[in-house]
Amino acid sequence: WLVLGIESSCDDTGAAVLRGDGQILGEALASQAGIHEQWGGVVPRLAQEGHKQAIDGTVDEALRRAGVATGDISAVAVTVGPGLGLCLEVGVRKAIHIAAEHRLPLVRVHHMEAHMMVTRLPPPAEASETSRPADPRQPDFPFITLLVSGGHNMAVLTRGVGRHTILGSTIDDSIGEAFDKTARLLGITKVPGGPHLERLAKDGDPKVHPLPKPLAKTRDKVLQEGCNYSFSGLKTAVRTLVERELHSAKSAALSEEELHKAKADVAAAFQHMAVRHLCERASRAAGWALELEPGTKCLVVAGGVAANQAVRKGLEEVAREHSLQMCCPPPRLCVDNGVMVAWAGIERLLLGLFEEPPSADSADSHVEIRPRWPLGERDPRSQQQKV
Ligand code: ATP
Ligand code: FE
């Protein structure tokens, strides 16, 4: 059978058609890069407008590339949350419309579950025939996931589809947000700034400006000893540093080259400490997960920030320390896309976790979305009120 996946939770409109065995037949992505730049972040109303304009074309494109029509599809999977309500609505409306028209089962997909589950997507048929019968990088349950994206920063123990325990999450910003905000402080105007900051950090020396380690001085025992994250203090420290090093009288006399180096040093210092904090907590989470599920073999790293080389290197070390295999989706599937939604849908379909076809009139009525949808229960050791 064939599953159509639709994604519209943030600023990318994605669609894909996958065969039941996970082979990708067609995919399409409409990015809103450029639209939000002048606002310094994603503007929900503008993003919704972008999705509305792109949704029909993106779905048609995915179907065309797969060489199929909507009538050939066996089920529709769609992200219903978490994400921006206005944006989710566009994708969900489209999915319900197609499902109602062709009497297809509908699978409601959790965006973060899709980000992690896409790691389990079987490799393309040609690749699997030539080599490995079972790719060790395709994680079996249970596994640990570090979700490092623009909206989330979480360590999760996953025992199966829909069976997640949150070992830790951020009490303020996600690492992606911290990268983006630091990029802006350093004068990077591109959105998102994260990848540009990584590039800048390559020219810098992280030892020039030692930054404080997040949560190192907290007296809160849960924060001190648990797997939660905090990135806002680091961002404030960077702001102070930028004001001192880059906006002072001293920096006014710098040549362009010296200014670049000064910025690069700050970028490198930030990245170094952000990765250290991420890894310290990830290592603790790995310890907890192995206590809870000694059979855990993989550390999955998913979300946009998984593309960062320093993050990968740090987490590879963490995985090695705990004798875990690090597993990442291919970079193209780390950012929001329709493939991950279709695959998460297939995993759910196989378990019977889907809804009967919606009735024709439901397409125009209220669509149920879940902008805040917790992934699962929290481990009591990191139980923390949001501050
Ligand atoms: P969520 O999935 O939590 O709803 P999202 O889908 O917006 O959020 P992603 O698309 O997974 O987030 O990731 C985008 C984030 O990844 C941005 O913050 C971006 O700056 C960051 N990012 C991407 N590449 C890199 C990189 N090389 N280094 C650092 N950050 C990066
Ligand atoms: Fe995402």
Q: What is the pLDDT of residues 39-56, one digit of tens each?
A: 877 899 999 999 999 999
Read off the pLDDT of each residue in 330-343 and give the average, rounded to a whole number. Answer: 93
Question: What residue's CA is closest to ligand 1, atom 3?
Answer: 151
- The region, left, alpha or beta by phi > 0 then psi within -120 to 50, assigned to residue 87 is alpha
292-312: pLDDT as tens digits:
999 999 999 999 899 999 999
Please give the average per-residue pLDDT across 248-263, as a whole number.
Answer: 88
> Could you read off the pLDDT of 209-236 as tens digits, one per residue?
999 999 999 999 999 999 999 999 999 9
pLDDT given at position 30: 97
Atom of ligand 1 nearest to the CA of 151: 3
Under the banding of pLDDT at 50, 70 and 90, the label for residue 104 is very high
pLDDT value at 253 more than 90: no
Query: Quick one: angle between helices 232-245 and 175-185, nearest 10?
Result: 10
The confidence score (pLDDT) of residue 41 equals 76
Measured from the alpha carbon of residue 199, the closest ligand is: 1
Neighbour-count burial for 67-103, b at 16+ CB within 10 Å, e otherwise = ebebeebebbbbbbbbbbebbbbbbbbbbbbbbbebe
User: What is the per-residue pLDDT for 363?
Assistant: 61
Mean pLDDT of 360-379: 84
Question: Ligand 1, residues 179, 188, 275, 334: which to mutate, most atoms within 8 A of Cβ?
Answer: 179
pLDDT of residue 132: 44
pLDDT > 70 fraction of the chain, expressed in percent and rounded: 95
Count CA atoms within 13 Å of residue 120 on its CB side. Answer: 25
For residues 70-80, average pLDDT:
97
The pLDDT tens digits of the residues spanning 107-154 come to 999 999 999 999 999 998 875 555 444 555 689 999 999 999 998 999
- Interface pTM, i.e. ipTM: 0.98
Distance 70 CA to ligand 1 centre (A): 31
Q: How far apart are CA 340 and CA 347, in angstroms?
A: 11
Amino acid letter, residue 223: L
Q: Provide residues with CB under 6 Å of ligand 1.
A: 9-10, 83, 111, 115, 149-152, 176, 179-180, 192-195, 198, 303-305, 307-308, 335-336
The ligand placed nearest to the CA atom of residue 153 is: 1
Instruction: Please provide the average confidence, as pLDDT, over all residues in the chain.
Output: 93
Give the per-residue SS3 of 192-213: CCHHHHHHHHCCCCCCCCCCCC
